[in-house]
Structures are given as structure tokens and as C-alpha cells.
Chains A and B, each alone.
Chain A
């Protein structure tokens, strides 16, 4: 019975995907950091012994997450100016509080999608969102409270979520009207698939370095590569 239903769901999704890919392409690429990797100062986790106990090595800020060859993580890449109606996925976007850090550090969520905040630490965290457009929330999550759910009902590009108990904890969230966004890992790679054919601007965003844009023409079922290079703005 259950198997049958899953099979049906699978078939439906495949059909949808097929119909989408028929007129859609993929944008992929790598983000690199240009410049010298700076010396970061370790996070002051000794502010809360509960946090310090969770790590055996000094923890570094996630503001600069570099991979081999200065590839750059935590970059939010998205397609600008996509029109049309895109339903929010039924699965939740999850932000975990783990080891007194937000996992992930940067993420996207769609308008109307469930935004789930987990507390895996068994410590008090105080998750405080600072949007300008959406309704903000400010919830203390004591050790035994492991979950909270929210939704955002308006598009909003990149606002901060912070922990009022552990000031170093910050996450950045983009609320999107379409699913064409990705966040790079430390390998610097992103892949946005199912993009309807057309001319677009692709924008890459970093919390401190700002944005870089590039234009791309996406055709039917092809893959376009767009690479970005981020650097410290000159004064």
C-alpha cells in the first residue's frame, strides 16, 4: 500500500521533472576568493562552557570558508528576475543549532516553505531573526525545546538570524519566490538546475564582500557555467 503510494508519487515527480527539464537548463560554476587568506581569530566559545565542551579544537568564524585553491563556501548564488509561480516545496528548510554554530551558515528558503529551527545542542539558544520585510521572531529555546517552525510570507533577500545568548552565532537567510538558488560548499561549487530558458543575471552574495553579478543565457536542457571571483573591496 505504502509502496504503491510512493511509486505513484515518484511517477508524478518524474513527470513534472521531465516536463520542466524539457524547457529548462542548468547553471553551474565555482566561486573563488582572490587575495590572501587572512588569519581569523578563534570564536570565543569559552563564553559558554556548554559550547566550549562541544569542541576539542578552536573553532573559526564561518565568515570565510575557504577550500583548496581558495574556493569559497557560504556564497549564496541565485538567478535574478525569474518570473512565474513556483510552489514551495513541502519539505522544510532546516537550520540547526549545533556546536553553538548555525548549520548551515547561509541558506535559502522559499516563500511559504516551512522553516524549521532545530536545537541539537541541549543548551539554551535564543534564535532571533532580523528581517526588514518579514515578521521577525525572537525565541529562546531552552535545552529541552528542540524544534521551532516558522514560515516567511514575503520575498526578502538575505537577512540575518542570530543567537542572543551566543553573539558569535549568525546565519543568513534569503527568502525566495523561486527555487533557483544554491549555496556553495567549501569547494566553491554551485549548481542551479531547472532554470527556464531565457536571459538572466546570476548573482553571488557574500555576507561581507557583497555581490557579484554575471549574465547568462540559458537554453533548453543545456548547462551554462558561470564562475565568480570575490575579493575584499578596495577602500
Chain B
């Protein structure tokens, strides 16, 4: 029902969240239309001109009691049937790291540092004192063996399609919020904490572009469509422009992208000094 409004969903769990938002709005609409119709009727029928003498006793019967019980039951269903399981699925049912792409995201004013462990699958050490905004924004300790093949990008998250992505989210400075509207993912990045989240992207960027061409609302700009990462928590003056991008690839494209990024990694101390 509300698809009209949502950004097109592109993750495995998006449909569940959307269905839940739909059902809540169905309940809301029923209540509002019911109350509204009663309200208009009552105000019209019991206006002073039409009903000069009020009735001391007022409304009788127990329709309202049933309505209230109905609301309570509907809320219990939404809570127990939908919201709690959906939430548990988000925070308790993490896929195994070995079956997933594991990425760290380090937010800062006003950029998303995306950090891949590289070929060894192990994240190197990082130290705030090593931060150099121009060349090493996450303060990677390049003397650590595990860090040598680590890949970092700014604002560019790349993931393969149909494979769980686990993102460990943190922040260097203030609280940010990592929001991927199309993926129905939103998680605060809190300095001092590393918070994991996960999702399974189900449509590559290219597939999404094709799909959007058939939707009148997006058809004009479908060719330039990108999955956007938006900061959802006020983080300073340029908060409104803290925009990142997610590209969802086929597995082959993803590997090619990783290889290209890895090719920029230099060797030796001398290069590390400059980069």
C-alpha cells in the first residue's frame, strides 16, 4: 500500500519492514476514518441549532469499550507478531562472518570511511594518533602485517549482491547515523562503540536501474540511480551533505573492484611514508 512512498527496497529484509509499516498504517487509517466519521456525524447531529437540549447521560452502550479493546489487540498483534520478531532478526540473527562480506565503517565529520580487511580477511590495527586526514583518515597502523592489504575508501561502499554484508559501525568524532534508505538500514555510529549491523542486498545497482525505468516516478533519472548513504543524525554544519554511495555488484564485478583498489596499495616503508 505504502510502496508509493517508500524508496524502492533492495534488501532481503526490506519487504518485512515495509509490510509492517503498511499494517500499522492500515490500523491507523481504520482508527482515523472511524473516529473521523463519528466526529463529523456527532458534531453535525448535536449542534445547538439542531439539538437545543443536551442529554445529561450522553453516550450509552459499550461500543467504545470494544473499540478500545480492538486497538489493544491490534497493537499486541503488531508488537508480538511483527515488530519483536523483525527486530530480533536484525540484531540477534547475524550470519556467520565466514559467509559474509565484513566491512568497517568509520564515520567522521562529514564523510564515511569504508574499510575492507583486504585479501587476508583480517582488519589491521588502527590508532587515533596515526590519523592523517589526507592520506590515512582512519589511522591505520601500516607497520601491522594485517593492515598492509587493508583497503579504505571515502564514501564509496561496494558490496556483492545476494551475500550478507556485516558492517561494524563506529565514529571518530560525534554521533552519526548510517542510513541506507533503499536497504531499510539505519544505525547510529557512536564514538567509542563499534556496533554491528547486517543486511543482504538483493538487487545490483544495474538491476535497480532497469527496474526503475518502469516506474514513472523514477524513470527520468533511472540511468543515474545510485544507492545513497545518508547521515540521519545531526553531526555538525555540513551534516546535510554527508552523502555516501553504495554500489551493489555481481560477484565478479565486486572482485574486479577489490582487485583494482588493491592495485593502488603500495609496498615498502618509503611509500607508506607518503601515502
Contacts and interface: CB of A to CB of B under 8 A. Distances in A.
Q: Report if A and B touch in the complex (beta carbons < 8 A).
A: yes
B238 A165 contact: yes
A168 B137 CA distance: 9
A46 B154 CA distance: 8
Interface stretch (B11-19, B26-34, B50-58, B265-273): B265-273
Nearest to A64: B274
B133 A162 contact: yes
B236 A164 contact: yes
Interface string B92-111: 00000000000000001111
B177 interface: no
B250 interface: no
A138 B110 CA distance: 13
B15 to A, nearest CB: 30
Given A41-B275, A63-B135, A162-B133, A140 B155 contact: no
A232 B110 contact: no
B153 A44 contact: yes
A123 B243 CA distance: 13
Contacts, number: 79
Given A38-B274, A39-B266, A208-B274, A61 B134 contact: yes
A129 B7 CA distance: 38
Of all A-B residue pairs in the complex, the 9 with the closest CB atoms, nearest first, are A47-B154, A47-B155, A140-B237, A126-B238, A44-B154, A38-B274, A124-B241, A167-B133, A140-B238
A7 interface: no
Interface string A183-217: 00000000000000000000000001000000000
Nearest to B108: A167
Interface string B157-179: 00000000000000000000000
A232 B272 CA distance: 12
B101 to A, nearest CB: 19
B40 to A, nearest CB: 46
Interface SS of chain A:
loop
A40 B111 contact: no
Given A38-B270, A41-B264, A138-B237, A167 B111 contact: yes
17 contacts: A38-B270, A41-B135, A41-B264, A47-B155, A61-B134, A61-B135, A63-B274, A126-B237, A140-B238, A164-B110, A164-B238, A165-B110, A167-B108, A169-B134, A170-B133, A170-B134, A208-B273
Interface of A: 35-36, 38-42, 44, 46-49, 61, 63-64, 124, 126, 138-140, 162, 164-170, 208, 232
A232 to B, nearest CB: 6
B273 A232 contact: yes
Given A61-B134, A126-B238, A165-B241, A46 B156 contact: yes
A82 B220 CA distance: 64
A117 B237 CA distance: 18
Nearest to B152: A44
B238 A38 contact: no
A128 to B, nearest CB: 9
Contacts of B236: 164
A64 B135 CA distance: 12
Contacts of B133: 162, 167-168, 170
Given A124-B238, A126-B238, A38 B271 contact: yes
Given A47-B153, A168-B134, A41 B273 contact: no
Given A63-B134, A165-B110, A38 B273 contact: yes
Given A168-B154, A208-B273, 16 more contacts: A38-B273, A40-B275, A41-B275, A44-B153, A46-B154, A46-B155, A46-B156, A49-B245, A61-B134, A139-B237, A140-B237, A140-B238, A165-B238, A167-B111, A167-B154, A232-B270
Nearest to A209: B273
A41 B266 CA distance: 8
B99 to A, nearest CB: 29
Given A140-B238, A164-B236, A167-B108, A44 B156 contact: yes
Contacts of A36: 270
A181 to B, nearest CB: 23
Contact of A167 (B137, B245, B271, B274): B137
Contacts of A63: 134-135, 274
Contacts of A64: 274
A170 B137 CA distance: 13
